[in-house]
Structure 1
Amino acid sequence: MMRRFVRGSAAAMVAAAVLATASPVSASAPAFCGELGGQWDGQFCTTSVVSERKAVRNIKMALPGDLVENPVIRQYLTTLMNNWRNAAKNMVQDSFGEQQFQIFQHGDAMTAVFHEMYSGTVGTDALAHPNAPIISDAYRTFTFAGGRQLQLADLFKPGVDHLAEIPRLGAPFIVAALDAAPPPHQPGTYPFTPDRWTPDKVYSGGYKAWALTPDELILYMPDYPVGRDSPINFAPGAMQWSMDGGTVQPRIPLSVLAPVLRPEFGGA
């Protein structure tokens, strides 16, 4: 669920720290930071924005070395900085935006996973909860091989319906991730049931965020915060859940998916 800034959120911040990867030292990162209007401190590109209400948003972005020269990643990081700056203009209380990254390599394929963490409340919600700004997480992932960006479907053999095969072959690992997801809950209880996390359901994020590691396919579900389940009346009388980005992260061994993967990605 989307979190509010309370003591319980500390564990989430520890988890975020595990994802952090030190940015490789290169001339590209500090130069790009300057283009973003930030200050390079040797690891992060930082800046602060003051809103019309005198609220301060502190922004900290980890830049992945020479990967900032990749036009896709460059555009993503530029858009993220601009979005956080623009959102800060309307904030009524102090907030933050922080981005970390992790790099995975599988043969010639490289996946960059960007984890966005941001807080802030706007307008009446901020006034209703003045001491509890919402903290949210989101994931954006980019995989490249052979000079082009790969889509999830590109990992699979021609004719394979990957959106059907992943939940079928990966079912035990998806269920395990659902059972382990926060907050602590009884295994198999709504909304942490596989039928609510298939790629056609909002909680899954449509499998938009994923990473190819040396021996696993990781799904980050959902990719962005989801306000509620859909359809709304799926469970009459049940609490309507919101889901933070990356609440459920199945790690499916490539050996399990081997029958439907292309050989270069672990296929049999």
Structure 2
Amino acid sequence: MFRTITVVLCLVAAGCSSTTPDETPTAFCAEVGGTWDNDACKLTGTNAKHITVDVSAEYPTDLVDEPALQDFLRKFFATYGHPDDQVAQNGHASLTYKTYTHGGHVKSIVFSNDWYLGGAHPNDEIVTYSFDDKKAITLTDLLCPGNDALTALPPIVRPFIRQAIGEDGDISRYEPGGDYAENYKAWYLDGDDLVLVMPASRFGPVHSGMWQPRIPLSALRPILRETGC
């Protein structure tokens, strides 16, 4: 009798636990009009000319409830899931991501948006989010109080950017306000490195001319919050 009851309880518990991880991403996917399929939310958008755009988005299921991430995903589906009537040929938009970690509590999500709505080449954009114990953080949050990323970082990161782009590159384009720096809007933490993505958006061959200089966090030690201020 006890053996039978134990087996039944284990099966019920296993059934409950196996569905829990999928409930949140599936519900969010349905909310934006998609179908959860093979670890991605997918839908097909159609305009008045019957031109279709196949839309697919992968996203971290453990962070899908985070407001900033939800806003980003909603905008992605709204933009590509409802193609403008000026779009004249079938296209696609595909969102994938990679996860990077720093220490045991900081997680960076690097989204790569590859889309094609006509033209000579597909286009791409990198969008990044970082979380400290699931709380969204900014680049300035990494620094000691009183430091602003756009003023404190340039003299420190400049040598590493120069190393990445080469001696012939115009370094001013990678400074805050420059068209490649985009005010450091795309960045992530990978182990003991701060990685800047320059530029975050490209119109042309995917990832062509995109630089990702790596800055050791040890170089930021004098202004880094986690090393003591």
TM-score (normalizing by structure 2): 0.79
Question: What is the match of residue 216 of structure 2?
Answer: 253
What is the CA-CA distance between 1:267 and the residue it aligns to? 6.0
| Larger-Rg structure | 2
SS for the counterpart of 1:200 is: coil
Question: What is the match of residue 31 of structure 1?
Answer: 27
Q: Distance in 1 between matches of 2:74 and 2:209?
A: 22
Task: Please tell me whether the aligned partners of residues 124 and 203 of structure 2 are also in contact (alpha carbons under 8 angstroms).
Answer: no
Which of 105, 109, 112 does residue 112 from structure 1 map onto?
109
Kindly tell me the number of residue pairs found equivalent between the two proteins: 208
**Where do residues 1-268 of structure 1 align in structure 2 (5 Å cutoff)?**
26-107=22-103, 108-121=105-118, 132-145=119-132, 148-179=135-166, 188-189=167-168, 192-225=169-202, 247-263=210-226
2:217 partner letter: L
What is the CA-CA distance between 1:26 and the residue it aligns to? 2.9
SS for the counterpart of 2:64 is: helix
What is the CA-CA distance between 1:49 and the residue it aligns to? 1.8
What is the CA-CA distance between 1:135 and the residue it aligns to? 1.4
Q: Distance in 2 between matches of 1:138 and 1:245?
A: 11
- How has the CA–CA distance of structure 1 residues 244 and 202 changed in structure 2, closer, same or farther, with 3 Å as cutoff? farther
What is the CA-CA distance between 1:133 and the residue it aligns to? 3.9
Q: Distance in 1 between matches of 2:209 and 2:29?
A: 27
What is the CA-CA distance between 1:141 and the residue it aligns to? 1.5
2:161 partner letter: I
Task: Please tell me whether the aligned partners of residues 156 and 219 of structure 2 are also in contact (alpha carbons under 8 angstroms).
Answer: yes
* Uncovered stretches (5+) of structure 2, i.e. residues with no partner: 1-20
197-206 or 134-143, larger mean C-alpha shift = 134-143
What is the CA-CA distance between 1:27 and the residue it aligns to? 2.4
Q: Distance in 1 between matches of 2:89 and 2:189?
A: 39
Task: Please tell me whether the aligned partners of residues 99 and 107 of structure 2 are also in contact (alpha carbons under 8 angstroms).
Answer: yes
Question: What is the match of residue 15 of structure 1?
Answer: none
Q: Distance in 2 between matches of 1:245 and 1:103?
A: 22
TM-score (normalizing by structure 1): 0.69
Q: Distance in 1 between matches of 2:41 and 2:147?
A: 42
Question: What is the match of residue 184 of structure 1?
Answer: none
Q: Distance in 1 between matches of 2:98 and 2:228?
A: 24
Q: State the identity as a percent.
A: 30
Task: Please tell me whether the aligned partners of residues 51 and 92 of structure 1 are also in contact (alpha carbons under 8 angstroms).
Answer: no
Q: Distance in 2 between matches of 1:201 and 1:86?
A: 32
Q: Distance in 2 between matches of 1:245 and 1:37?
A: 32
Q: Distance in 1 between matches of 2:221 and 2:181?
A: 22
* Uncovered stretches (5+) of structure 1, i.e. residues with no partner: 1-24, 122-131, 180-187, 228-242
SS for the counterpart of 2:83 is: helix
